[in-house]
Amino acid sequence: MKALLLTEYKKMELSEVPEPEVGSHDVLIQVEACGICGSDIHGYDGSTGRRIPPLVMGHEAAGIVVAIGDQVDSGVAIGDRVTFDSMVSCGNCHFCRKGHANLCDNRRVLGVSCGEYRQHGAFAERIAVPQHIVYSLPDDLPFEHAALVEAVSVAVHAANVTDVELGDTAVVVGTGMIGLLTVQAIKAAGASCVIAVDVNDKRLAVAKQLGATYTINANDEDVANRVAELTNGRGADIALEVVGTTATVQSAIASVRKGGHVTLVGNVSPTIDLPLQSVVTRELTIKGTCGCNGEYPACIALMSSGAIQVAPLITQQISLADGPQWFERLYAGDPGQMKVVIRPQQ
């Protein structure tokens, strides 16, 4: 079958690769759409150490079931429209048994090779995945939208671990792809006022289009002071940081009220400078969040209802053959692109 293969760092090739092996509990899926994630672009040059060639990347996907293993139960059938989690959990470790599959000791991520394992992904015509990470799709959810369920799940999980109450004011720092989804997710979770923060006016305009009550350009205004103005001097109840740098984390912390809650989603920097005294003396709660943990059905429902919209975020749909040139373009930096979706069957 055809696949987009990372043959060496900074080199993608449309290649012929072996058909996936379908295990007894696996589902073979014809990939109809697969989004290019920022982590794929970061892995393209080897800087993350998690995309060691040769590798088929891609983990945001949806498609049609074309074969099933002999131990797959009746919950999945040939012809079903499905999506699937990007993380393969074992189901047997301490964390899986405690209901925290995203923290699985033995987890594998699709489209990743890191020395410990190589798990080919969905920049291909077909992919085999375990049945337990597969989710059915409604007929009215287009495949290019369904490919973004994985990204939506990160935002919805972040909202789920945040102590949000109806009527809260929330600050979302960072309006990249996940940030824009987080704006929508935290609003759907009950925040009545959502303040989006970024340094890019175009992305802030999209945040406003997708439901942000106010926007702040951090290059033009002091974020904490502006949030204080918008909250009668108190500060926001919650903040979600979706970048992962010292400056943005500090901005999120400075924006919340005493006793507030800060959820850290972004992880660009492995370490940051934390304003410890501000956290301690104001008794803030700081939580990290990783991936998702069973939120796919909720995400699909939110997308189907229109509570979370992804159509404005899709800027291009391309073929597998177009993949190499688009990876070069995205790696070089294309400010006009938000989400590029590969359509392997086109």
Residues 223-249, mean pLDDT to the nearest whole number: 97
Between 234 and 267, the higher pLDDT residue: 234
- For residue 49, pLDDT over 90 is answered with no
pTM confidence score? 0.95
Task: Give the pLDDT of residue 311.
Answer: 96
- For 284-309, the pLDDT digits (tens) are 999 999 999 999 999 999 999 999 99
Task: Give the pLDDT of residue 47.
Answer: 85
Q: Which residue intervals of the chain bear CATH 3.40.50.720? A: 158-288
Task: Give the pLDDT of residue 294.
Answer: 93
CA 148 to chain centre: 8
Q: Which residue intervals of the chain bear CATH 3.90.180.10? A: 2-148+310-342
Task: Give the pLDDT of residue 289.
Answer: 97
Residue 320, CA distances (Å) to 7, 166, 225, 245, 257 in order? 15, 44, 47, 33, 48
- For residue 74, pLDDT over 80 is answered with no
Residue 273, CA distances (Å) to 14, 253, 255, 269, 328 in order? 42, 12, 16, 10, 33
Antiparallel, parallel or unpaired: β 126-130 and 26-35: antiparallel
- For residue 48, pLDDT over 90 is answered with no
- For 199-225, the pLDDT digits (tens) are 999 999 999 999 999 999 999 999 999
* CATH homologous superfamily for the domain 158-288: NAD(P)-binding Rossmann-like Domain (3.40.50.720)
Task: Give the pLDDT of residue 15.
Answer: 97
> 142: Cβ–Cβ under 8 A, 6 or more apart, which residues?
none
- The answer to whether 152 touches 175, Cβ cutoff 8 Å, is no
Mean pLDDT score across all residues of the chain? 96
Fold of 2-148+310-342: Quinone Oxidoreductase; Chain A, domain 1 (3.90.180)
